[in-house]
């Protein structure tokens, strides 16, 4: 495959990883905001705290798998070029994967904590 096509595909996977992370962050912030605006949702979460926390963690796990998958494809595409100066870019992909997953883990942990401390008004 030509190097230009590989570079474009790699960039697209990088963009997908960023978009997935951004979508998760926005989705979770909207969810956290909605918890306190919708009394019915608040009641459901209070009634099923353990299940709600579990579902929050599973969703975060799925997003993390997608992000790791994008990173793996990025790395495999770049490694197929076989040039030594790409090692810096490949290590930056590892950093991007770790950073994106860290954002998701922190936000999911916060969301789980919020659900854990919910109380009826």
Quote the number of domains for the chain.
1
In a domain, 84, yes or no: yes
Per residue in 48-102, pLDDT (tens digit) is 989 999 999 999 999 999 999 999 998 888 887 777 767 777 888 889 999 999 9
In a domain, 111, yes or no: yes
Q: What is the mean pLDDT of the chain?
A: 88
Residues of the domain holding 8 = 3-116
Q: For residue 57, give both structure tokens.
A: 């963690």
CB-based contacts of 64, cutoff 8 Å, min separation 6: 101, 104, 105
Per residue in 31-53, pLDDT (tens digit) is 989 988 888 888 888 899 899 99
Q: Is pLDDT at 1 greater than 60 in this prediction?
A: yes
In a domain, 72, yes or no: yes
Percentages helix, strand, coil for the chain (3-state, rounded to 5) are: 90, 0, 10
In a domain, 121, yes or no: no
């Amino acid at each position: 495959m030509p190097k230009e096509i590989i570079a474009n595909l790699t960039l697209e996977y990088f963009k997908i990883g960023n978009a997935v992370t951004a979508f998760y962050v926005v989705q979770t912030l909207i969810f956290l905001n909605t918890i306190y605006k919708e009394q019915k949702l608040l009641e459901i979460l209070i009634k099923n705290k353990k299940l709600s926390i579990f579902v929050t963690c599973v969703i975060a796990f799925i997003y993390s798998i997608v992000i790791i998958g994008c990173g793996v494809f990025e790395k495999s595409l770049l490694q197929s070029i076989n040039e030594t100066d790409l090692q810096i870019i490949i290590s930056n992909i590892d950093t991007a994967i770790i950073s994106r997953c860290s954002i998701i883990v922190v936000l999911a942990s916060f969301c789980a904590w919020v659900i854990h401390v919910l109380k009826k008004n």
